[in-house]
Structure 1
């Protein structure tokens, strides 16, 4: 077997990777995005069944989801930096191994604590996959049109994973049991691992950034305690010592992170990026949009199976209008952004993401499906409209040399939104006010509309990721 060449020459970040079997390489890299994104959504349909089998309450179900998204959000930037330094192919294959082992063991988890820990193991592998896969793609597909098509495929795979998650989860849970929502990853991991040995070149940055260990520790020290406080507050009491201590530690760590990163020459996250209103607006919209998505999937799953008594298979089928429309609308939105700029799709997204939850606010257990379908369609249209412009705004708002870190921050912000959506919405369900959750999601949609109008200029056209952006782009 021929060993792929290590590439350092060419582009200042990636080098020009040897173009060996580029289509197979694209499939290999996109398969990593598919399984890591799928695991954000496929588990949701199985939560009620997992809860009954492992005797987990709502906060336990929140942790099953939050453990994955929290670790993924915390380590994406570090994993990209490690790939720059030690080789993206090496990190990709290591990520596949960790993700595969985590998926296998999740399926054997005997109790709730072990499942939560193993979900975190999965996420460590997932964090190593996404940035290094996309960095490899942008290094191999260097011609602008080729890169545009490759990034378009990457975006389509993201939409497909969102659409496949609820349906696949419902079929697996209903037919084989909830453990198969984790084991289904294994054939894809094995295929990607074998293909990567044959077609994936080794690339690394000729001038890698220094690893920011202090910044990484502070990220974890901020996100984990804050998430704990939000999830456990309703059951333990917002004034309980553990919740107050966790919230305080998280807030102090967050403030320390901002202060430390402002003074570092090569920070994990350059907080000065947020001085750009367009960049800050894009990141804020990303957090809000994915908070809506994860909150909707969590809240709606409990509503369909616990309140209405639907089976997991039926729950997956019922949300198909929302997930399928994401696949249809997302590529059309990319073309719209290229022609008209991001303001129009983001404005329309804000309206749809506000209206969708409002339709579902007073949906009783006997609500007609036409009412549910209307809300689901609006949410699917809104999410299909909001996702494609986010990275393009973030990248276009920065100089070319900072495009990689800008898109990596956009990718991380999505995962932070996933964490917050599950934590906050789940807390509202715990205190038996699910309608408040729908109102909160509608408020997030209104905030997207307001932010889009305030930060995106009229008649602006932003470049789709076709230039040599030089780094870890995200979709």
Structure 2
């Protein structure tokens, strides 16, 4: 029996949509890891210190962290295609600005715009995918492919960053986004259909603004404290302002009908424990990854290309193990898998604290792999635990909050561990000694969190199936029934 032309056209359109959304997410995830390989070259050519490198990374992660939830609501409310393509345009234009940046200040500005674009692009891509696959089995397969491309982007970043930086210099890592963005825009305008959810909640503008300001001011204090002095009026003022903004954020969110962060969710112990652990995952993983390439280049004397290859065991470990983390949690329980994962990651980071200039790579790569495997075992189960702790109607929001807490941890990790390195150097130690202290600190925090989850991560097994895989945000994950398809323009 031959399929009807309409059915063939429908499958063709879904294939195009799947390609476009996966490629967009690939571009965003590639940017997460490709920058790390280029940091040594940026430091040399832009004549910046460690503080400048921290801002280059955190400017992007901060905006992604604080706008991710709002990006999902924007997509539902104003049209998934519109928000997705707007994110593509902004991310691509910002990449061009980054590649042309004549100074650290301009590069940081470009990274801020990239973060805004990514916060629109990523949740909207998943929203488009979910809206186009109403059948649960088809949806699971589509999300699996989408997540798979994310993993490829993470794994490809260090190698691509090393190759491009070695051959053309750091601007090339941003220029690679231009052809991808152009293809996404042209194909998306022609082939993507529009959809929206008119029942989506209103945008929580006060909550969004206060959250960005609070985390931004706190990050400023943590990054600049080492250079300006921890007791300087500016730094003390920034910490005080951050505290006031956090209190204001909580007060505003408690009174809003549809807050971006419903504080009542944190009354559930499983939700609170899983998100606390997710902050530590972001803190330790991103904070330590910030220094991997710098260790190989500055301490062991590797080239930028070789350093990119040498950091690959972390991302490969994550990509290879992540697909099995949910299944393991379904079989053995959240508590067991998460606690073992955190213990492995913490042990790997502590082991990195004993690596020195004369340590052979044969005694380094397995430590990196253990870190990647450990964190891979934690992320999906922690998100699954957060989702299980709330009602089905709040599952998408819980997933988005889990992603946001991890990103907040990433912002703080780069800032705090950078401060550890700077303080060790200012006390007369070497850069190598500072890195050792940073890795040990990250490992100690991670191991302490393993004890925390081992004691408090309740309700050990998922109900009714495997742990839910990590998904970015919003009501789009739920497949809410009040979808309104709109013909493509």
Q: Same fold (TM over 0.5)?
A: yes
Q: CA deviation at 1:237?
A: 0.2
Matched, 1:356 2:348: yes
2:460 to 453, 458, 473: 458
Q: Who is 2:135 aligned against?
A: 143
Asked if the contact 1:152/1:331 (under 8 Å) is kept, the reply is no
Counterpart CA distance in 1 for 2:370 and 2:351 is 9
Counterpart CA distance in 1 for 2:449 and 2:49 is 32
Judged with a 3 Å threshold, the aligned counterparts in structure 2 of structure 1 residues 19 and 89 are, in CA distance, closer, same or farther, namely farther
1:471 to 458, 472, 475: 475
Give secondary structure in 2 for the equivalent of 1:387.
helix
Q: Who is 2:385 aligned against?
A: 393
Q: Who is 1:439 aligned against?
A: 440
Asked if the contact 1:86/1:204 (under 8 Å) is kept, the reply is yes
Asked if the contact 1:173/1:180 (under 8 Å) is kept, the reply is yes
Matched, 1:300 2:292: yes
Q: CA deviation at 1:36?
A: 1.4
Counterpart CA distance in 2 for 1:229 and 1:70 is 14
Q: Who is 2:177 aligned against?
A: 185
Q: CA deviation at 1:460?
A: 3.9
Counterpart CA distance in 2 for 1:158 and 1:440 is 29
Judged with a 3 Å threshold, the aligned counterparts in structure 2 of structure 1 residues 339 and 196 are, in CA distance, closer, same or farther, namely farther
1:325 to 317, 331, 339: 317
Matched, 1:245 2:224: no
Number of aligned positions between the proteins:
455
Counterpart CA distance in 2 for 1:306 and 1:470 is 42
Q: Who is 2:486 aligned against?
A: none
Q: Who is 1:421 aligned against?
A: 413
Give secondary structure in 1 for the equivalent of 2:475.
coil
Q: Who is 1:196 aligned against?
A: 188
Asked if the contact 2:386/2:399 (under 8 Å) is kept, the reply is yes
Name stretches of at least 5 consecutive residues in structure 2 with no aligned partner: 1-9, 426-433, 479-489
Asked if the contact 2:99/2:174 (under 8 Å) is kept, the reply is yes
1:257 to 226, 249, 256: 249
Asked if the contact 1:262/1:270 (under 8 Å) is kept, the reply is yes
Matches within 5 A, 1:62-211: 62-211=54-203
TM-score (norm 2): 0.89
Judged with a 3 Å threshold, the aligned counterparts in structure 2 of structure 1 residues 244 and 473 are, in CA distance, closer, same or farther, namely farther
Give secondary structure in 2 for the equivalent of 1:61.
helix
Asked if the contact 2:221/2:236 (under 8 Å) is kept, the reply is yes
Counterpart CA distance in 1 for 2:250 and 2:122 is 25
Counterpart CA distance in 2 for 1:278 and 1:83 is 29
Asked if the contact 2:268/2:389 (under 8 Å) is kept, the reply is yes
Matched, 1:373 2:365: yes
Q: CA deviation at 1:24?
A: 2.4
Structure 1 stretch displaced more, 368-377 or 168-177: 368-377
Give secondary structure in 1 for the equivalent of 2:316.
helix
Q: Who is 1:403 aligned against?
A: 395
Q: CA deviation at 1:378?
A: 0.7
Counterpart CA distance in 1 for 2:146 and 2:371 is 22
Q: Who is 2:431 aligned against?
A: none
Judged with a 3 Å threshold, the aligned counterparts in structure 2 of structure 1 residues 36 and 94 are, in CA distance, closer, same or farther, namely same
Judged with a 3 Å threshold, the aligned counterparts in structure 2 of structure 1 residues 470 and 316 are, in CA distance, closer, same or farther, namely closer
- Could you give the per-residue CA deviations for residues 232-286 of structure 1, whole angstroms, max 9, x where no partner exists? 1011100111111111111110111112101111112111111111112221222
Root-mean-square deviation (Å): 1.9
Name stretches of at least 5 consecutive residues in structure 1 with no aligned partner: 1-17
Structure 1 stretch displaced more, 437-446 or 355-364: 437-446
